[in-house]
Amino acid sequence: MKSNEIRIKRKNDWLTPEGTRDLLFEECAAKREISESVTRLFENYGYSEVITPGLEFFDVFNGYTRQFPQETLYKLVDGKNRLMVLRPDSTLPIARLASTRLSDEELPLKLFYNQNIFMVNPKDSGRDDEISQCGIEILGGKSGAADFEALVLAAKSLAACDEDYRIEIGDCGIFTELMADFECEPELAVNTRHWIETKNLPMLNSVYSSDKIAEEDKVFAEAFKALPRLFGGIEVLEEAKKYLHGENLEQALTRLEKLCRDLSDIIPEEKIRVDLGLLSSKNYYTGVIFRGYVEGYGQPALSGGRYDRLLGTFGRGAGAVGFAMNVEAVARVLLKKDKTRFERKPDVIVWSENLALGLKHCGDLIAEGLNVVNSVLECPKCTKKYAKEHNIKRVDVVDKDGNVLSEEV
Amino acid sequence: MENRKVRIALTKGRIEDKAVGILEKIGFDVTDLRNKGRRLILNIPNEDIEVVLAKAADVITYVEHGVCDLGVVGEDTIMEHGGKFCELADLNFGKCKFALAVKKGTDFFAGYGVKTVATKYPKVTRNYFEKQGIDVDIVKIEGSVELAPLVGLADGIVDIVETGTTLKENGLEVQTDVAPISARLIVNTVSLKLKQERILELVNLIKGVIE
C-alpha cells in the first residue's frame, strides 16, 4: 500500500464541534448582507465601531450584577495560568472599554459592534455555541431619549432584513420595584423571577394562591400572577394599571406607554407588542427591555435593554441602553424563505492565451459592473463545458493579441 | 407570513390518551387521533391544528425550537430536561411525585458517610440534594431503579412514585417526597407572541375543560 493511501480516521479531523458549523456560499452571502445593512444603519445614525477581543478575563463576566453561570462559559487558561473565557457577551466588554480607554471621552457615547459570542449550550440541544451579533450601546445621555433611539434602531434593523418582524417591549424595573417592597426569602425571589420569565402560571398560582398569602402581601401576589399574563398590544398597559400601584410603578407604565406611542409614529402599530412579564436571565438589565421576533425562528432574534448599574461596576457611573441582533438566525430565516436571493453567479468566464491580457480583460469587465471568473482550465472547449455545468451564461475567449471573442452558452 | 397550522406535540402513551380526551371534550374531531396507526403527524378536521406525537423529552425539544407551537409533557421531563419555553397551564392529570426511597427500615440521612443514589433523573436528583446541601454520589440507571438498593449499588433511589406498589413489592419505602408532578401545557415563546390570539384561544379552551 502506498503511503498516501493510508488514511487514519481520527473523527475530530472531520467534524466541527457541536454547536458550530462551516458556512458556505449563500449562507455567507446572507450573513454578510444582513450584517452590512445593519451596520450601515448604525453608521448612518452616527455610531462608532468597536471590536473587543474574543478572549477576555473570566473576572469580567464574574462580578457583581454581571454573573454568567460558569457552566455556560468556554474557559481556558493563558500563559500565566489565569482563567480566560471566550467572550459570551459584547455588552460587558464594551462597558469595560467605556470605563478604561474611553474614560476621557465625554458621554453620551454611541458605539456599535459586529462580532461573535460563545456559549456552552446543553449537550445535543441543537443550539448554536457560536453566535454572530450586530448591536449597539448608547452610554450616558437622557434615558428616555436613548431608550427610544435604541428601540427605533432595533425595529429598523429587523425591518432592514425582514418585513415580518415584531418588536416587544417590557420593563424589568417593574419586577425589581415590586420585589423591593415585598419581603420574602431570597430563594423565593429568584424562583418568582424565573416563573414570571417562563410564564409558569401553575407555579405562580399555587405559590401565590390567595389562601396562602398574608393580607398585606396580597397586592404583590396579584401583581406577580398578573405580570406574565400582561402581554399583547399597547392596550395591555391600560389593564396593567389594575395591578400596579404606587408612584414608581405608575411612572414606569406611563414611560412605557409613551415609548410605544412614539414608536407607533415610526413603525406600524401592529408590529409593536408589550410584555410586562419580560425579564432577562442577564441580570444586568435595570429598566426597559425589548426583544425582536421574526417568523420562522423559535427564539428571540434580537434582545436588548437598559442597564444603569453595569458601567458603575467598572468604575464609570452612567446609565446605558443597547441591543444585539442574532445575525445568523435572521440569515437562516431569510435563506429558508428565498435561497436564490443570496446565490451569487458569475456573469462571464474568461479564457485567454495570454494570461496578462486575459486578466486585463477581466478587470475591464469588472469595471463594467460584471462578476467574472478567470478560467484556469486547459482550453476554450473545457471552459465552455465548465460554463454550461455552472450556469455561466457568457464565455469570452481572448487570443494572444488581445482580441476578444464573446459567446453566449 | 408563513401560514402553517398550529402544531401541538403530545407525549406518546398515557399523556397522549388523556390529552386526546381533552381535545375531544373541547369538541374537536379526534377520530384521526384514535385511529392513528403508525402515523406521527395527525390532523384535526376543520381546524387549523395538527397533532404531533413524540417522546416526552422530544416534545420539549420540538417546542423549544419552535417547530411545534404547543406541547403536553410531564413536569418530570421538564425538571430533568429544562429548556426555554413558557409553561402556561397545569393540566391536572398524570399526577404523581418524585420521591427519595430507601430499603424499608433504613434511614438515608443517618451517619456521615457520602451516600449513593440511583436514578433515571440525575438532574432532578442533583438539584434536590444541592438544595439540601448534601453531597451524594449519583448513579444513572436506565431501567428499574428499584433494583439498585436491593443489590447494594445504592443507598436510595430518586424516582417517580405513583401508587407506591412497585416500591412495596420490592421492600422499599418512601423516605421523603422530592417534588409533585403533573402534566403541563408548554408553549414556544415566539409562537405565543406571533400567534397570540389563536394560541391563547386554544389554551383557554383547554383550561375550560380540565377539572
Best residue of A125, A168, A274 to probe chain B, by most B CBs closer than 10 Å: A125
Measure in Å the smallest separation between the Cα of B190 and chain A Cα atoms. 6
Backbone angles phi, psi at A333, to 5 degrees: -60, -45
Indicate the residue of A164, A201, A299 with minimum beta-carbon distance to B189.
A299
Residue B86 with chain A: CB contacts under 8 Å: 198-200, 228
Query: B87–A200: do the CB atoms touch at under 8 Å?
Result: yes
> Which homologous superfamily is A347-408 in?
Anticodon-binding domain (3.40.50.800)
Flag residues of chain B having pLDDT under 70.
1-3, 211
Fold observed for domain A21-164+295-344 = BirA Bifunctional Protein; domain 2 (3.30.930)
Q: What residues are paired with B7 via a beta bridge?
A: B50
Q: What are the sequence ranges of the domains in chain B?
A: 6-94+182-209, 96-181
What is the per-residue pLDDT for A129?
93
Q: How far is CA A149 from the centre of its chain?
A: 17
What is the per-residue pLDDT for B1?
40
What is the distance between the alpha carbons of residues B2 and B4, in angstroms, rounded to a whole number? 6
Measure in Å the smallest separation between the Cα of A297 and chain B Cα atoms. 7
The predicted complex's ipTM stands at: 0.75
- Taking the Cβ of residue B184 and every Cβ of chain A, the question of whether any pair is shorter than 8 Å is answered with yes
Are the C-beta atoms of A291 and A300 separated by less than 8 Å? yes
What is the distance between the alpha carbons of residues A407 and A388, in angstroms, rounded to a whole number? 12
- Taking the Cβ of residue A292 and every Cβ of chain B, the question of whether any pair is shorter than 8 Å is answered with no
The yes-or-no answer to whether B6-94+182-209 and B96-181 have a common fold is yes
Q: What is the CA radius of gyration of chain A?
A: 27
> What is the bridge-based pairing of β-strands B136-140 and B115-119?
parallel
Residue A166 with chain B: CB contacts under 8 Å: 193-194
Average pLDDT per 10 consecutive residues for chain A, totaling 409 residues: 60 83 93 96 97 95 80 94 95 92 92 96 85 96 95 96 92 92 89 92 90 87 94 93 92 94 95 92 86 90 93 90 96 90 90 93 95 94 94 93 90
Class level of CATH domain B6-94+182-209: alpha beta
Query: Which set of grid coordinates corresponds to residue A333?
Result: 430565516
What is the per-residue pLDDT for A283?
74
Residue B86: helix, strand or coil by DSSP?
A: strand
- Taking the Cβ of residue A203 and every Cβ of chain B, the question of whether any pair is shorter than 8 Å is answered with yes
Query: Which set of grid coordinates corresponds to residue B84?
Result: 426555554
CATH of domain B96-181: 3.40.190.10
Nearest residue in chain A measured CA to CA from B91: A202
Residue B82 with chain A: CB contacts under 8 Å: 122
> What is the bridge-based pairing of β-strands A272-275 and A165-171?
parallel
Query: A300–B82: do the CB atoms touch at under 8 Å?
Result: no
What is the per-residue pLDDT for A212?
83
Q: What are the sequence ranges of the domains in chain A?
A: 21-164+295-344, 169-273, 347-408
